[in-house]
Structure formats: C-alpha cells, structure tokens
Amino acid sequence: MPRFTSYDGTALAYSTVGDGSPLVCLPGGPGSAAAYLEDLAGLGELRTLVLLDPRGTGHSELPADPSTLRFDRLALDLEALRQHLGLAALDVLGHSAGAITAQAWASQYPDSVGRLVLVTPSDHLQGGTREDIPGIRETYAAEPWYAEASEAVELLADAPPSQRAALQRAIQPFFYSRWDDRARQHAAGYEALMSKRAQLGYITGADTVDLPAMVAGLKEVTAPVLVVAAPRDAMSGHLSAELVASSFPTSSLVSVANAGHHPWIDEPVGFRAAVDPFVTL
C-alpha cells in the first residue's frame, strides 16, 4: 500500500482503484478508514480513486500529537498528499464527515482545489439545524427496526462509553434507504473500520476553531463544486446538503432519488448518473 510522510512526520497510507487522473476520496465516520467507500459504485472506471486512510485509521499511523486528529488539521494531510502526488490542483471527493475535512482544506487552500465533490455532507461548519432529519426518520416508521433505532438515537448522546458501541449498531439502519442484505454487509464492514481514537480526536477542541472564518474562506473557492444529496438521508439530512452548496460561489446540487446516507450503496446507478458528468475530464 502506498504511503507518504505528512507535514509532521506521520506516515499516511492510501490505496488506489481504477484508471485515469487521480480523484482523492476522503472517508467519513468520523474516524473511519477508507475501505467502506469501496470503488464508489464503479467510479474507478473513470478516474483513479485515491482512497486515503486518515491519520489514526486503517494503515495510517496514529500521530504523536493527538490534537492533529482534529478535522481542520486533517486538512493539512490532504494538502501534503497533493504535494506528494505532484499535482498543482487536486480533485477531491469527501463523504459525510470527510466532506467537512474537504471543506476545511478548500477554505485554507482555495488555489489547490481542482474539483470538489461533497457526498451527503454534514453542515457542521455552517451551523445548520438539520431540522428535516426527524421527518426523514419518520418515513421509516413502518420498518421492524425503527423503534429500537429511534430509542438508540435518543440514548446515544448521553450514553457512557461502555454502551455506545451497541447503540451505534442499533442506529445503523438509518444510514441506508433499505436495510437489506447489501446494507447489512456494508454496515458490518464499516463498523470494523472505525478507530475510536480518530473518532474522538476529530472533534476534540473543535470549539476553538473559527468556523465563520472557515465558511467565509469557501467563498474564495473558484473551482467547480458538486454537492450530492439524498432525500432519505436520515443522518445528515437534505437541508444540510443545500446549506453546504450555498457556501460556495460556484456549486451544483444533485439529489439521488430514493438514496440514503450512502447513495453509492443504495442507488448505485443514480449515484453514478449524478457524479459521472462532473468528474469526467
């Protein structure tokens, strides 16, 4: 697996899938390695997917300084990867929490952005309300798992560490538009890729980050931006994607019909229809 040394000496790993010019792919979680992205429903047919394991996850090293696991500092690793690849500008796809890292990088290094794809992004930077999420979750009310998952959501915020893993497992169906065998298999693999240290470090000290300044920096991104939304995304919601898209001077918002938080799993054909025209060079 290829590796490079980031700005502070931490060794980071990535895998590659497909052919063509590089498209760097950032996983979410936060705190997940990149393998759950798979090949993004065959997107490697068009581009070489560079699947980065963020520091502290997968095959990447855990840094000596845990404060470097925070989302805004992970952006420095993305810039180091651009330099490692020898590219003047980098095309980046970020999913969920990975879209936060991608935005933090774009805000700090607007001239380094080639194309930016943000898939079911969180609106944490923008301070959104996600007020549509309860209504989206209610659309699943007839599902046999709904009552347990809804209770787990309520309990998770104040749960002790000993209970969090079981509660997070219970809410997994909310990440998909259909809780079928494909979704269950993907969810099991996703859980195995999580790093608790990386997950905790992602937000530790986040209250010290100047989020308004970071969002203001997005207005300096002149590169094209695609935001991929999903109407059944019960984790980030559709309004989050709309708010993120409005943060850029040049952006397009595409909604993948019938998809949830992992649209390339739920609706691979629709996902490719949304993304292919944007990433085809």
In tens, the pLDDT along 131-180 reads 999 999 999 999 999 999 999 999 988 888 788 889 989 999 999 999 99
| Confidence (pTM) | 0.96
Name the residue ranges covered by the structural domains of the chain: 3-137+194-279
Residue 113, φ and ψ in degrees, nearest 5: -85, 125
Whether the pLDDT of residue 55 is over 90: the answer is yes
Q: Which pLDDT value is given to residue 59?
A: 97
In tens, the pLDDT along 9-21 reads 999 999 999 999 9
Give the residue-averaged pLDDT of 248-270. 97
With H, G, I as helix, E, B as strand and everything else as coil, classify residue 75.
helix
Count CB neighbours of 248 within 10 A.
23
% of the chain at pLDDT higher than 70: 100
If pLDDT is split at 50, 70 and 90, which confidence band does 82 have?
A: very high
If pLDDT is split at 50, 70 and 90, which confidence band does 252 have?
A: very high
In tens, the pLDDT along 210-231 reads 999 999 999 999 999 999 999 9
Q: Could you give the CA distance from residue 77 to residue 170 in angstroms, rounded to a whole number?
A: 33
- In terms of Cα–Cα distance, which of 14, 17, 16, 29 is closest to 101? 29
Containing 50, the helix (H) or strand (E) segment is strand 48-52
Q: Identify the CATH assignment for 3-137+194-279 out of 3.10.105.10, 3.40.1000.10, 3.40.50.1820, 3.20.20.70.
A: 3.40.50.1820
Q: Which pLDDT value is given to residue 271?
A: 98
